Each structure stands twice: as C-alpha cells, then as structure tokens.
C-alpha cells in the first residue's frame, strides 16, 4: 500500500505527497469576483499539499451562487488569479482551480438573473444573498439549445485558468450544483436528450468534461462527484448505476482524475474505484457531514485503492498539515465562526506548529 507521503505522478505534475487540499468556499473575493492578496497568502501557506484545489470559481455571472465568491469569466478576474498561482508556485506548490456553476443554487439578488437549472424545480433550503439568507427561488429551465452555452462555460473558464497560471482545473460535479443537478433523478425532470434515463442524465457532465479536455487537455482536467450526496435536495435514486455509467464514459476521455466525496456507502465507492482506470482522489466524510480526516482515514482509503486523499477543514486550521501528519503532531481546531465572515482572521492567521523551545 502506498504511503500518504510518497510521491505521485498526476498528468504532467509530480506531487511530493498524496495529500490534496480540498476545495472549500471562503467567500473572501473582492468586488467583481476578484482574487485578493490575502487569497494569495492563504493558498501559498498551504503549498506543501501534494495538490491544492481552490474554492469554486464561477464560470459566468449566472453561475454564481453566493456573494463574495470569486469568478473566472472576465479579464480582470483572470489577471487577479495570477498573484495566487505565482505565490503557490513560488512556495513549491501545485494548484488546480475548481470551476463551479451553481445552477439553481443562486438568487437574483446576487447575480441580477433568475437562476437556471435543468428543470423548474427549486432546491431545498436557503441561499445567501446580499440582504441575507433567502429561500431558494424556482430556477428557469434551460431550453435544449441553451445547454451547450453552459457546457462551454466550463471550457472557457478552464482556458482562463491556464492563462492565469493554474496547473489545471477541477469541474465541480458534486454537492448539488449544476452538473449534479443534471445527474439528479429529481432536480432533472427533462424529456429531451439531457433528461430521463441515465444515459441522458450523464450527458451534460460528459459534454462539459469533453469540452474542457478539448480546450486545455486531459492532463489538466479533473472532476469532483458526490455519489448519492443529497445536498441542496438533489437526489440520485440510482447512485451506483448512475456514477458507474458516468465514470465509464469519462474514462473514454482520460481525465487527470476523478475526485469522489465519500457520500455513498463504502461498497459503492469501492465499485467506482474499480470502474475508474485512472487517478482517484477520495474525500472521506462521516454521515453527519465533513470529517477532519486524519492518518487512519487516509490509510483506510489508500488501502481501498484511492491514489490521493483530500483533506478539508484540517487544512484550514493547519497550513502545515502535511508535516503535522508526517510527524504525528496534534491538529489545531478550526474556528467555524470565521469560515465565511470575511477578513484575514481565521483565514491567514492560523500558525504552523510551534515546537517547545
């Protein structure tokens, strides 16, 4: 079994270890969805990760979920991300940008547009807006001839990501956002070639991945999935069959990796590992939500065939997480009150481990 600290070849990159900093929204972009100097510091502090995957970057204004999230669809946004990628590379790191189209998980108060989705079915829960949490609105169902525009938005953002110095991109196909909505058996009630049977519901994901591969290459393209996750009211009644079919199709275009969130039963995830011939990242979770995974969870999933292990909250409070895990040092707790409040506190203020003098 490989060690969490052994090197790994991912596309054209050599990762010095098998840890991945998972994508996590921090809602600290400047006006206009611009990356900031503090964001450059935040990611550079964590550059000892084998791979960093950023927070979600909206590929269009209508694809924005919350206020304060960064984008990758204007020249100004592209320029702003160069300070981030330069800082990570200067610290010896590697960084993929996650491209996240929110679909129905959005609000007109945030974007100025009615959200769009595969069908006119509202998501569950409230969404943040400039005036506070609001109930999820009913999205406008995309016309068949509009779908291609949103497929291409992932590829266009990927081109900008490479121009901004990212080593690659991860398509956000998890957690109830647009790709996940098309995969769903309840958010997607379409009767055209993008809805109904599994072969149709996986089409949007496959087309978005294929368009991105055509634009920036397979070695620079990954995808994140949350089989059966149920987030924002998205249901996959047939999660095992659906995701097996999806991975079978994605294997034909040889993506750099598939990133699975541990939202399904272990036997389903193991079957997906057996289906997928390439690199697999696993983000361990617990039934109650995200887990601050440690060495035992990492070893378990490496033993089940995962190639890389993604850590979320543990990386927030421990910029030196890799060294703490390697040396068996205690992990600092994360302050949940600072997840999304803005500012540098709880963002770039977590220290590295202080050894006794």
The residues with which 251 forms a beta bridge, in sequence order, are none
Four-residue CA torsion sign, 8, 348, 69, 138: positive
Per DSSP bridges, beta strands 221-225 and 168-172 are: parallel
Q: How many CB atoms lie within 10 A of CB 121?
A: 19
- Work out whether the CA dihedral 15, 20, 24, 28 comes out positive or negative: negative
Name, in order, each residue with C-beta under 8 angstroms of 327's C-beta and a sequence gap of 6 or more. Answer: none
**DSSP-derived 3-state class of residue 71:** strand
> Which residues, other chains included, contact 217 with Cβ-Cβ below 8 Å and sequence gap of 6+?
none
Instruction: Give backbone dihedrals phi and psi of 203, rounded to 5 degrees, phi first.
Output: -60, -40
Structure tokens at 303: 């033993």
257 a catalytic residue = no
> What is the Cα–Cα distance from 82 to 161, expressed in whole angstroms?
9
Q: Of the residues 43, 177, 347, 350, which is catalytic?
A: 177
Name the residues annotated as catalytic: 177
């Amino acid at each position: 079994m490989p060690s969490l600290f052994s090197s790994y070849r991912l596309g054209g990159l050599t990762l010095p270890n098998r840890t991945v900093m998972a994508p996590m929204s921090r809602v600290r972009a400047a006006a206009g969805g611009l990356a900031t100097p503090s964001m450059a510091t935040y990611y550079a502090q964590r550059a000892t990760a084998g791979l960093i995957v950023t927070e979600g970057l909206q590929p269009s204004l209508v694809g924005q979920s919350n206020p304060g999230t960064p984008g990758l669809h204007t020249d100004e946004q592209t320029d702003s991300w160069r300070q981030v990628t330069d800082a990570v590379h200067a610290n010896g790191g590697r960084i993929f940008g996650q491209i996240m189209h929110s679909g129905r998980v959005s609000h007109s108060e945030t974007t100025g547009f009615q959200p769009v989705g595969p069908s006119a079915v509202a998501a569950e829960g409230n969404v943040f807006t400039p005036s506070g949490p609001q109930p999820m609105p009913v999205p406008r169902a995309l016309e068949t001839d509009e779908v291609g525009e949103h497929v291409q938005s992932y590829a266009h953002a990927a081109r900008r990501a490479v121009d901004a110095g990212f080593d690659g991109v991860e398509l956000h196909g998890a957690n109830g956002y647009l790709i996940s909505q098309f995969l769903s058996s309840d958010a997607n009630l379409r009767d055209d070639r993008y809805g109904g049977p599994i072969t149709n519901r996986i089409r949007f994901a496959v087309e978005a991945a294929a368009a991105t591969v055509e634009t920036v290459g397979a070695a620079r393209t990954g995808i994140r999935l949350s089989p059966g996750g149920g987030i924002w009211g998205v249901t996959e009644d047939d999660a095992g069959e659906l995701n097996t079919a999806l991975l079978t199709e994605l294997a034909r275009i040889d993506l750099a990796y598939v990133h699975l969130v541990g939202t399904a039963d272990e036997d389903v995830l193991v079957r997906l590992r057996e289906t997928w011939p390439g690199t697999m990242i696993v983000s361990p979770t617990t039934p109650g939500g995200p887990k601050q995974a440690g060495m035992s969870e990492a070893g378990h999933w490496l033993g089940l065939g995962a190639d890389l292990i993604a850590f979320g909250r543990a990386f927030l409070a421990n910029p030196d997480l890799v060294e703490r895990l390697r040396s068996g040092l205690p992990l600092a707790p994360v302050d949940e009150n600072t997840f999304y409040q803005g500012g540098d506190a709880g963002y770039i203020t977590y220290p590295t481990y202080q050894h006794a003098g």
